[in-house]
Amino acid sequence: MLNKTRGIVLKTTNYSESSLVAQLYTESFGMQSYLIAGARKPKAKIKANILQPLHLLEIIATHKDNGSLQRISEARQTPVLQEIPYDIIKSSLALFLNEILYKVLKEQESDSYLFEFIHQSIRWLDETHLNLANFHLVFLIKLTRFLGFYPAASKQTLPYFNLHEATFSNSLPEHPLVLQEPHTSIFRDLITAEYSNCDHIKMSSTDRQFLLEKLLDFYRLHRTNFKEIKSLYILEEIFR
C-alpha cells in the first residue's frame, strides 16, 4: 500500500551500483529506511541531491510493518532549503543537528509533535537572518522536552543544576556533573529563550563551548549509546 507522508533526511548509504538507502524520520511512521532505486543514475526519477542531510521531503512510499526496507516511489522537496546548503554557518549547524538527531531518533516511533518541532526548527534556521551563535544550545534544550528529560522548572533562582536529576538545587551535589554560577544563570536564560530572541543572551565563546559540552554530557546521561559527536569541532571553529 502506498502512503503519503513528510520526511526529514538524516542519512544515505550507497546500495548496489546505482541505488541508495535513505534513512528518514517521517511524520507518519517515525524512523524508516527507504530503498531508492537508481538514485545515482543521471536520469534518476528521484535524484540523490534532494537526499542531503536535513532536507525536507514529501514522499509517497510503501510501508510494511515487518522492519524491512521500504520503497519510495515519489519524493519532492517541500520547502526547498534556500540557505542551509550554501551558508557556511547554517550548513555547519545543520551538520551538527543532523548528527544529534540521527543518534537520538534511531529507533524513534512516530510522534507528530516531535516531527513538527524538528521540521519548524530546520525551516527557521534556513530562513532567519539573526545571529546564530546560541541557536544550537536552545535547540538541544528544546529537544529534551520530547525525549523525556527536559530541565525541571524552579520558581526560585537556585545556584546549581544537577545534570543527573535534571533539576535546579540549592546544594552542590557530590558528583562533577553539575552547572554552577555563572553558567546556571545562562542555562536558565537558554531554557526560557525562543529562537527569535536567543541572540540576546550574552556569553563568551568560552562559556558557550562549556555549556555545549555540558549539554552533551546531559544527553549522555539520559540517552543510551549517545557517544562522541564528531561534528563538535566544527562549531568550536565557527563560534570561537
d(C-alpha 206, C-alpha 186), whole Å: 13
Residues 70 and 136 occupy one common structural domain = no
Choose among 110, 122, 190: nearest CA to 150.
190
How many CB atoms lie under 10 A from the CB of residue 44? 17
Whole domain around residue 173: which residue ranges?
130-238
Question: Per the structure, how many domains does the chain have?
Answer: 2
Boundary (domain end) residue, out of 50, 77, 104: 77
Same domain, 64 and 134: no
Q: Of 77, 94, 114, at which residue does a domain stop?
A: 77
Q: Is there a domain that residue 64 lies in?
A: yes
* Own/partner pairs, 108-114, CB within 8 angstroms, 24+ separation: 108/25, 108/30, 108/31, 109/30, 109/31, 110/26, 110/27, 110/28, 110/29, 110/30, 111/30, 111/146, 112/27, 113/146, 114/146
CATH of the domain at 18: 2.40.50.140
Measuring CA to CA, how many Å separate 37 from each of 50, 73, 228?
Answer: 14, 9, 32
Residues of the chain with pLDDT under 70: 67
pLDDT value for 62:
86
> Which 3 state secondary structure label does DSSP give 112?
helix
pLDDT value of residue 27:
97
Rounded to whole angstroms, the Cα distance separating 85 from 53 reads 9
Looking at beta carbons, which pairs linking 212-217 to residues 24 or more positions away fall under 8 Å? Answer: 212/136, 212/137, 212/140, 214/163, 214/179, 214/183, 215/137, 215/140, 215/141, 217/163, 217/177
C-alpha cell at 69: 526496507
Cβ atoms 193, 181 nearer than 8 A: no
Residue 197 lies in a domain: yes
User: Does this model's pTM top 0.85?
Assistant: yes
Cβ atoms of 75 and 20 closer than 8 Å: no
In this predicted structure, what is the pLDDT of residue 179? 97
Residues 144, 63 within the same domain: no
- Provide the H-helix boundaries in 58-192: 88-104, 112-127, 135-147, 183-192
Q: Examine the fold and report which residue of 14, 48, 77 is the final residue of a domain before the chain moves on.
A: 77
